[in-house]
Every structure is written in C-alpha cells, then in structure tokens.
Structure 1
Amino acid sequence: MEINDQLLDELLSQAETNERRRVNLDLRNGDGDTSQRMLNALQPGTHVPIHRHTTTSETVILLRGHVTELFYNEKGVECGRYDLNPVKGVYGVQVPVGMWHTLIVHEPSVIIEMKDGAYVPITMDDIWQYE
C-alpha cells in the first residue's frame, strides 16, 4: 500500500462523515503483528479523551494538517504542549510510557501512531476521569 495524497484525502473524507469525526486505518500485517501502527484521520471537533499507555511509549507523526499534543501530570495539570505543524517544520512527538495526553485538531489532519507490542485496548483506568 502506498501512503499518498489520495489515501489521505479518502480517510479525511470518511472522518468528515463519521460521528466521532475521525477514522483510523490499521497498518499491521495481521493479528500476529506485534507492533501497533495506524493512520488516524482527524477532523476539527473530534474529542480524544485524555488517556495514557502504561506499557509502551507512543510515536505520533503528523503527515498533514495541524494539531497540538498536550501532556498532563498525575494531578491533571498540563505539563507539555507540542504544536505539530509541517508548515513550521514540526512533524511529531514522542509520548513517554504512562504520560497522560490528548490532542487538539486545528484543521483536517492525518497522523501516524506507532506503539510497541501487540494491540491492547485502553481500559477505563487509562482514561482521565474528570472531577
């Protein structure tokens, strides 16, 4: 599969009509693939809850658009803000293991997300519970 403008356009079009305002495309070679790789097409207005990954770091690379990745400490206080924008030469960020994070989508955007190990769904313990 070639990752090109046509594919990104198609994913963004699907995200625009999706209730969640985002869609992803699994890039693994099958269920036995022990890495996590996906394209995530995001439209402004999508809600990505503050969450963490307790067993792996996460690499986020922006292929198109403009997003801001936000990091939070254990008390829910913002402790990092990374404005990803290829026009400004900022393409990605490494999210450390266990770091609470989310992102804000400023314009239609496509990111590639990569994590170690086989896919493990996030549990409710890994989604920030607002008080």
Structure 2
Amino acid sequence: MIIDNTLLDQVTQQAKMSPRLRMNYNLHDSLDSKAQRLFNALEPGTELPVHRHLHTSETYIVVRGRMNVLFYNDDKQLTEECELDPKRGFYGVQIPAGQWHTLEVLESGTVIFEVKEGPYTPLTSENLMTL
C-alpha cells in the first residue's frame, strides 16, 4: 500500500461528506489489534469531546493541515494548548495515558496519523468530560 495524496484526498472527501466531519482510514486489521494505527481526516467544526484513555498513551502526527491540541486537568481547567502545523515545524504530540484532551481543527483537509495501543475500547462516561 502506498500512502499518497490520492489516499489522503479520498479520506478527506469522505470526512467532508460525513455529518461528524471526520473519517478514519484504519491500517490495523481489526479492532482487536494490539496497535490501533489509522489516518484520521478532520474538518473544521468536527466535535471531539474532551476525553482520556486510562490505559494507553496516544500519538498524533499531522500529515497535512493544522490543528490545536488542548489539555485539561481533572478540574476541567485548560492547562496547555499546542498548535500542530508541519509547515512551521510542529508535527505531533504524544499524549500520556490518563491525560484529558481534545482537538480543534484549524484548516480544511487536515489529516493526522494516530496510534494507540489496542484493542479498541469505546469511551465510557467516566472517560468523557463535559465542560
């Protein structure tokens, strides 16, 4: 498999047509895989709740586009914000297990490469934060 603009454009087009304004392109074989590796095409306006993964760290690498990653503490206070923009030399972020976080997409056509340990586990209410 070759990862090129054609693939990224296809996933981006699917994200634009999705009501959630985002679309995954999984590279792992199943949701039970020990490593969840995927491209995530994200459009401005997509809503990703503040959440955490208690048992796994998570890595985002921006392939194209721009986004902010926002970090919160247990008291629902914003503690850090970083803009990822490969054109400016800011490529990615490593999010430790248990860290509350979300993202804000700043540019249409944004695609990230995302990795976390598997198997996939849906977020539960204890791992979602309402601001």
TM-score if structure 1 supplies the norm length? Answer: 0.94
Q: Kindly state the Cα deviation for residue 101 of structure 1 after the two structures are TM-superposed.
A: 0.3
Kindly provide the CA deviation profile for residues 29-59 of structure 1, in whole angstroms up to 9, marking residues without a partner as x.
2355211111110001111110000000101
Kindly provide the CA deviation profile for residues 59-85 of structure 1, in whole angstroms up to 9, marking residues without a partner as x.
110001000000001101111111100
Q: Tell me what 2:85 maps to.
A: 85
Q: Tell me what 2:114 maps to.
A: 113
Q: Which amino acid aligns with 2:115?
A: M
Runs of 4+ in structure 1 deviating by more than 3 angstroms, as ranges, are: none
1:1-131 alignment to 2 at 5 Å?
Answer: 1-108=1-108, 109-130=110-131
Moved more, 27-36 or 39-48: 27-36
Q: Find the residue that maps to 1:8 and give its secondary structure.
A: helix
Aligned residues: 130
Moved more, 81-90 or 28-37: 28-37
RMSD: 1.1
Whether contact under 8 Å (2:32, 2:118) holds in the other structure is no
Q: Which amino acid aligns with 1:16?
A: K
Gaps of 5+ in 1: none
Q: Distance in 2 between matches of 1:7 and 1:53?
A: 28
TM-score if structure 2 supplies the norm length? Answer: 0.94
Q: Distance in 2 between matches of 1:68 and 1:129?
A: 19
Gaps of 5+ in 2: none
